[in-house]
Amino acid sequence: MSQSALFERHKETLEKGISASRTREYWTAYPESPSPRVYGETASKDGEAAFKALLNKNFDFDMPGKIGTVGSEKSPYGFDLGITYPKVDVKVLVSEVEALRQEWATTSIETRTGICLEILDRINKRSFEMGFAVMHTTGQAFMMAFQAGGPHAQDRGLEAVVYAYEDMARTPAVARWEKPQGKRDPIVMEKNFTVVPRGIGLVIGCSTFPTWNSYPGMFASLVTGNAVIVKPHPGGILPLAITVEICRDVLKEEGFNPNLVTLAVDGPDALLAKDLALAPEVKLIDFTGSTGFGNWLEDNARQALVYTEKAGVNCVIIDSTDNFRGMIGNLSFTLSLYSGQMCTTPQNIFIPEGGIETDDGHKSFDEVVAALATGVEKLNSDDERACAILGAIQSEATLERIAKYGKGDNVVLASRSVPMAGFDGATIQTPLILKATDESSYSAELFGPISYVVPSKNTADSLSIVENSVKTNGAISFGVYSTSEDILDQAEAAACRSGVAVSFNLTGPVYVNQTAAFSDFHATGCNPAANAALSDTAYVSNRYRVVQSRRHI
Amino acid sequence: MSQSALFERHKETLEKGISASRTREYWTAYPESPSPRVYGETASKDGEAAFKALLNKNFDFDMPGKIGTVGSEKSPYGFDLGITYPKVDVKVLVSEVEALRQEWATTSIETRTGICLEILDRINKRSFEMGFAVMHTTGQAFMMAFQAGGPHAQDRGLEAVVYAYEDMARTPAVARWEKPQGKRDPIVMEKNFTVVPRGIGLVIGCSTFPTWNSYPGMFASLVTGNAVIVKPHPGGILPLAITVEICRDVLKEEGFNPNLVTLAVDGPDALLAKDLALAPEVKLIDFTGSTGFGNWLEDNARQALVYTEKAGVNCVIIDSTDNFRGMIGNLSFTLSLYSGQMCTTPQNIFIPEGGIETDDGHKSFDEVVAALATGVEKLNSDDERACAILGAIQSEATLERIAKYGKGDNVVLASRSVPMAGFDGATIQTPLILKATDESSYSAELFGPISYVVPSKNTADSLSIVENSVKTNGAISFGVYSTSEDILDQAEAAACRSGVAVSFNLTGPVYVNQTAAFSDFHATGCNPAANAALSDTAYVSNRYRVVQSRRHI
């Protein structure tokens, strides 16, 4: 198909995305409902079959630098995926990608944008297959895996394309410059402006949200003309392998070398991230993962622009509420969803030691804690429902953490193992709630379903501790419950000073750990949890530069 | 005056600037002509008197951290300015600025934009005073000091405001988010988006273009809500002191603390740049100067975003021309203007060893070189005209460099001292042209009026050397002369790959070392000469972040 045809085909989506990102009103390009009416009567069955057909096979790509196969993913639902992927020689891969990337670098903005939009559309059509792939790598329950790993991730990818396209298109390809010279003829010049990509973009995926956290950087780098190498987490390869395959298919169909998008999978004996990150040709790095490795990248990959999302400690402040039941229900679900394995799940819940005022009268600190513990316990009391909310624990380290912290004498609610029908080996655990003793106990991130209830002197004290915690430990989300506009204003000011998004009085079906593309920014880029936000102009505008020529005409 | 009144007063300028930056057509807000018809009958005389009234006095500011006075600027035209400025204690200054900056951080985008536009307007009205201040610090001849130090610098400041305003205003302050829920009521939320600045912006000025190179960073940081500390070069304080004074006057009039913009002047015993750059509160640094210190900042001021313009080696390739006389005339002026003390002046001129085709027949390498030498010599043969083009040499180091390189046996055109009537001590030198022997001789920057003519095998060889040189040594400008569209295409491709702006066949009144705000980007940000361009979205969009709040309504 002609390359501008893809741009035309998806132009309406692009324009709606631009508009939504400017109004921040509700909009989505990819339906989050897995309904047969939306995705087709057989979509679910077909997707599961497609996923199953990938198991216990070699997922091959015709890529440069192949030196064997690698891969040993295990489903958190208790079985080996048995899939292998190409093992690559980093030097060969990088140098060959560098050698071929100019054809993509020099093509038009519209061609690149059209291809990226087509890729997203194809990914969307495989959302069920992706849902199963995400479920059986991350441990997310299927509904979440489908939504967060499918349409929501696709929306975040589209959002990056939208921002990048608008910024690239801001500068015209050609301009006529005519400078008056009084009575003499004007000076007339023609100027050409070319979008020039940085080089190779490296995307380092994480194990819990392999697509959601990778798509923004991947599409931001690709649409701005960079070649992309995707380095998945060894535990979450499949969703990104499917993604890379779709990218390559579309590129090839459009006459480009598919090796503009490649996959570099770690072997147990050969972790590739450092070698890739230090390659001089790699000029952009998008990373989601540990603070340790994020900081290492920022400190060492100095030839590249490094966009990192690292650990944080998210907080909730309870000051008062006019909907105690709604608050407890909302928080119970928030703490339970995907067993707290989200970078946005709250860890520390601050409650005044003197208790709070509610629509149900005064509640003491202990009463609030007891209500929360009961709320979480009840929500997960039915095994089937619990499995659908909690999903499975992705990593051994998280399981060990639950076990370790569950042994203390400050346990408010113990974690229990939940059996899942049909998946004997699934690692499913309900949330563990602890009572904080001193600040040192709760100031580090305990990834997974572990949270602290923290007694504070009063709400002013809570606000002061949280502001300081965000500045020091980082955070991506922040929730506040208060019936006082004054307290909410103070919380908003503290959120601005420390640089964290804040949600007020969530008592219904919106949760502090969820954001909506085109409306909510994910992370702010100004606290230690992340140095960039998904997505804004700053996230895309330095991934390319503009080179101009000028001449008299 | 009401704060939104300033925004309204200058709104048309802002809108025209936004439009010009998008069309890249000719536009300027501040007339470059020093004509009495534009700036008033007495503007020149008044400006000179205002400048003279500043000499031999203490230029005082009521700033935090004052611990005495400092300053020993010398005019390159041969006299001491005799002006002293406050000497500051960096720790006190930084901590007090940090403590007061929230009032600016939390005011509206429109208020900040209006104030920045008013500051620029006031600076414009003092362009003659500024012209003399720039002349007697940088050594620029008056006409250039007026234009480049006045209106052109103001245009570059405005350009940064334009980009920053547009990007900040892209996100609405408030949005209503309404998510359909099938048959149920939609979920409705109100979301607030707040522009949050990074902290303190440090602007480190240079000695040759104290205003032009400082205004973009200064206004970009200020308009996005950061407090600004200006650290001028010890040789070029006065133009920035006047600028800071105007900023402070306007801020005070509008009810803000004037210490949102402060001046930190080095003493001979106390260079302040490193202490300022490492202060944890300093989150943005704009620097123009040496590669050594620029790299130091990038490597060490890790708490800040660092925007640097450093040394580069600019090149010209001569392949062929249909206007030999125009080419020689253009290059002669280019090499002479401000004695090559511009970051955009070409240093290396590549000519095929076999010579070139011209409208005046074939010219051998030696004939081209001789024509260039004669062109430069004749242009500067009249002392009065020479002084008006060359200006004076700003630094002792440049004078020493001219003397040192003038002693070699490869001198094609010797530099001569030019006497200037009325300024006995003026350090005025005509350009020195050398013939390159090998690549090592011309691959480092020789700042000032020193250039090399370099014999290449052919134009393909020239292009290959220049592409490599830009990648390795950096460059801000690149000129090509050729009658072949094919060669120009090749040159443009090489310019894109290496990341440098290119000018083709300049034979008239546009010079490769000059750029026009709103149309030409200054530097590309993708070669070692600079990590940012003046100005584009990437230059402004990370100086602030957006913090959001949301609640159900």
Residue B437's pLDDT is what? 87
B520/A548 touch (CB, cutoff 8 Å), yes or no: yes
pLDDT in tens, A78-114: 999 999 999 999 999 999 999 999 999 999 999 999 9
Of A102, A492, A524, nearest to B545 by CB-CB distance is A524
Question: CB of B545 within 8 Å of any CB in chain A?
Answer: yes
pLDDT in tens, B104-160: 999 999 999 999 999 999 999 999 999 999 999 999 999 999 999 999 999 999 999
Mind telling me how many Å the CA of A420 is from chain B's nearest CA? Answer: 30
Co-location of A432 and A539 in the same domain: no
Structure tokens at A475: 């955070």
Residues B196, B544 contacting (CB under 8 angstroms): yes
- Indicate which CATH number applies to the domain containing A394: 3.40.309.10
Q: Integer distance in angstroms from the first to the last C-alpha of chain B?
A: 36
Instruction: Give the residue from B379, B376, B369 showing the smallest Cα distance to B318.
Output: B369
pLDDT in tens, B355-364: 999 999 999 9
Mind telling me how many Å the CA of A189 is from chain B's nearest CA? Answer: 9
Residues counted in chain A: 553
Mind telling me how many Å the CA of A287 is from chain B's nearest CA? Answer: 18
User: Diameter of chain B by CA atoms?
Assistant: 89
Angle between helix axes A324-336 and A365-379 (nearest 10 degrees) is 50
Instruction: Report the relative pairing of strands A305-309 and A314-318 from DSSP bridges.
Output: unpaired
Of B177, B299, B501, nearest to A548 by CB-CB distance is B501
Mind telling me how many Å the CA of A527 is from chain B's nearest CA? Answer: 10
Question: CB of A99 within 8 Å of any CB in chain B?
Answer: no
Determine the residue of chain A that is closest to B478 in CA distance: A549
Co-location of A382 and A235 in the same domain: no
Query: Rounded CA gap, A81 and A27, in Å?
Result: 35
* B510: confidence class by pLDDT, cuts 50, 70, 90: very high
Among B244, B277, B310, residue at a domain's last position: B310
A191/B102 touch (CB, cutoff 8 Å), yes or no: no
- B540 is a domain residue: no
* B4: confidence class by pLDDT, cuts 50, 70, 90: confident
Phi-psi region of A205 (alpha: psi -120 to 50; beta: other; left: phi over 0): beta
Geometric angle at alpha carbon B439, from B434 and B442, rounded to 5°: 40
Residue A54's pLDDT is what? 98
Q: Is the pLDDT reported for residue B2 higher than 80?
A: no
The answer, yes or no, to whether the previous bond of B4 is cis (omega within 30 of 0) is: no
Residue B270's pLDDT is what? 79
Give A265's DSSP letter.
Answer: P
Question: CB of B533 within 8 Å of any CB in chain A?
Answer: yes
- A322 is a domain residue: yes
Co-location of A266 and A319 in the same domain: no
pTM assigned to the model: 0.97
pLDDT in tens, B430-447: 999 999 988 888 999 999
pLDDT in tens, B16-41: 999 999 999 999 999 999 999 999 99
* A1: confidence class by pLDDT, cuts 50, 70, 90: low
Q: Which residues of A touch B180 (CB under 8 A)?
A: 26
* A438: confidence class by pLDDT, cuts 50, 70, 90: confident
B537/A536 touch (CB, cutoff 8 Å), yes or no: no
With 0-12 / 13-18 / 19 or more C-beta atoms within 10 angstroms meaning exposed / middle / buried, residue A364 is middle
pLDDT in tens, A534-551: 999 999 999 999 999 999
Co-location of A234 and A357 in the same domain: no
A546/B552 touch (CB, cutoff 8 Å), yes or no: no
- A515 is a domain residue: no
Of A191, A495, A536, nearest to B519 by CB-CB distance is A191
Place of tokens 């600079």: B530
Q: In one letter, which amino acid is A233?
A: H
Residue A244's pLDDT is what? 98
Q: Which residues of A touch B187 (CB under 8 A)?
A: 508-510
Question: CB of A502 within 8 Å of any CB in chain B?
Answer: yes
- A475 is a domain residue: yes
Q: Provide long-range contacts, Cβ within 8 A and 24+ apart, for B265-270.
A: B265/B70, B265/B71, B265/B85, B265/B86, B265/B87, B265/B88, B265/B231, B265/B232, B265/B234, B265/B237, B266/B70, B266/B231, B266/B234, B267/B70, B267/B87, B268/B72, B268/B234, B270/B87
- B401 is a domain residue: yes
Mind telling me how many Å the CA of B83 is from chain A's nearest CA? Answer: 39
Residue B440's pLDDT is what? 86
Q: In one letter, which amino acid is B2?
A: S
Structure tokens at A151: 């349409």
Query: Rounded CA gap, B532 and B284, in Å?
Result: 13
Residue A441's pLDDT is what? 87
Residue B505's pLDDT is what? 98
Of A175, A180, A537, nearest to B23 by CB-CB distance is A175
Q: Which of residues 22-81 of A touch B (CB under 8 A)?
A: 22-26
What is the torsion angle, in degrees rounded to the nearest 10, for the CA atoms of residue A169, residue B32, residue B207 and residue B73? -150
Q: Which residues of B touch A25 (CB under 8 A)?
A: 175-178
Q: Which of B19, B108, B472, B526 to mutate to test the interface with A (most CBs of A within 10 A)?
A: B526
The answer, yes or no, to whether the previous bond of A535 is cis (omega within 30 of 0) is: yes
Co-location of B39 and B149 in the same domain: yes
Domain total in chain B? 2
Structure tokens at A210: 């392999």
Mind telling me how many Å the CA of B190 is from chain A's nearest CA? Answer: 10
Residue B3's pLDDT is what? 60
* B269: confidence class by pLDDT, cuts 50, 70, 90: confident
Residues A295, A288 contacting (CB under 8 angstroms): no
Co-location of A415 and A545 in the same domain: no
Among B489, B504, B519, residue at a domain's last position: B504
Residue A71's pLDDT is what? 96
* A268: confidence class by pLDDT, cuts 50, 70, 90: confident
Among B258, B282, B310, residue at a domain's last position: B310
Q: Which of residues 274-303 of A touch B (CB under 8 A)?
A: 298-299, 302
pLDDT in tens, A480-510: 999 999 999 999 999 999 999 999 999 999 9
Q: Which residues of B touch A492 (CB under 8 A)?
A: 192, 194, 549
Question: CB of A98 within 8 Å of any CB in chain B?
Answer: no
Q: Which residues of B touch A546 (CB under 8 A)?
A: 521, 524, 533, 536
Q: Which residues of B touch A499 (CB under 8 A)?
A: 196, 545, 547
Determine the residue of chain A that is closest to B517 in CA distance: A177
Question: CB of B542 within 8 Å of any CB in chain A?
Answer: yes
Co-location of B80 and B225 in the same domain: yes
Question: CB of A184 within 8 Å of any CB in chain B?
Answer: no
Mind telling me how many Å the CA of A155 is from chain B's nearest CA? Answer: 15
Question: CB of B521 within 8 Å of any CB in chain A?
Answer: yes
Specify the 3-state DSSP secondary structure of B245: helix
Query: What is the DSSP annotation of B66-77?
Result: EEEEE---EETT
B525/A538 touch (CB, cutoff 8 Å), yes or no: no
A22/B171 touch (CB, cutoff 8 Å), yes or no: yes
Question: CB of B551 within 8 Å of any CB in chain A?
Answer: yes
Co-location of A162 and A260 in the same domain: yes
Determine the residue of chain A that is closest to B178 in CA distance: A26
Question: CB of B509 within 8 Å of any CB in chain A?
Answer: yes
Q: Is the pLDDT reported for residue A2 higher than 70?
A: no
* B467: confidence class by pLDDT, cuts 50, 70, 90: very high
Average pLDDT, chain B: 97
- B218 is a domain residue: yes
* A74: confidence class by pLDDT, cuts 50, 70, 90: very high
A526/B196 touch (CB, cutoff 8 Å), yes or no: yes
- A63 is a domain residue: no
Over its C-alpha atoms, chain A yields an Rg (Å, rounded) of: 25
Q: Which of residues 365-424 of A touch B (CB under 8 A)?
A: none
Question: Residue B179: in which H helix or E strand, if any?
Answer: strand B174-181
Residue A3's pLDDT is what? 60
Co-location of B283 and B329 in the same domain: no
Which distant-in-sequence residues (6+ apart) come within 8 Å of A540 by Cβ? A160, A163, A164, A167, A220, A224
Q: Which residues of B touch A225 (CB under 8 A)?
A: none
Question: CB of B187 within 8 Å of any CB in chain A?
Answer: yes
With 0-12 / 13-18 / 19 or more C-beta atoms within 10 angstroms meaning exposed / middle / buried, residue A85 is buried
Domain residues for A113? 3-23+44-57+74-271+534-552
Q: Is the pLDDT reported for residue B1 higher than 60?
A: no
Query: Rounded CA gap, A281 and A338, in Å?
Result: 37
Co-location of B98 and B223 in the same domain: yes
Average pLDDT, chain A: 97
B509/A171 touch (CB, cutoff 8 Å), yes or no: no
Q: How many cross-chain Cβ pairs, A to B, lie less than 8 Å apart?
A: 194
Q: Which of residues 217-256 of B touch A (CB under 8 A)?
A: none
- A234 is a domain residue: yes
For residues B262-283, give the mean pLDDT: 93
β strands within A397-543, DSSP E: 411-413, 432-435, 450-456, 478-481, 502-504
Q: Count of alpha carbons within 13 Å of B225, Cβ hemisphere only?
A: 25
Co-location of A419 and A469 in the same domain: yes
User: Alpha helices, DSSP H only, in B88-190?
Assistant: 90-100, 102-105, 109-125, 127-138, 142-149, 151-170
Give A500's DSSP letter.
Answer: -
Of A191, A510, A537, nearest to B541 by CB-CB distance is A537
Co-location of A112 and A53 in the same domain: yes
Determine the residue of chain B that is closest to A180 in CA distance: B26
pLDDT in tens, B82-106: 999 999 999 999 999 999 999 999 9
Q: Which of B297, B498, B537 to mutate to test the interface with A (most CBs of A within 10 A)?
A: B537
Question: CB of B553 within 8 Å of any CB in chain A?
Answer: no
- Indicate which CATH number applies to the domain containing A166: 3.40.605.10
pLDDT in tens, A378-396: 999 999 999 999 999 999 9
Query: What is the DSSP annotation of A380-419?
Result: T-SHHHHHHHH-----HHHHHHHHHHTTSTTEEE---B--
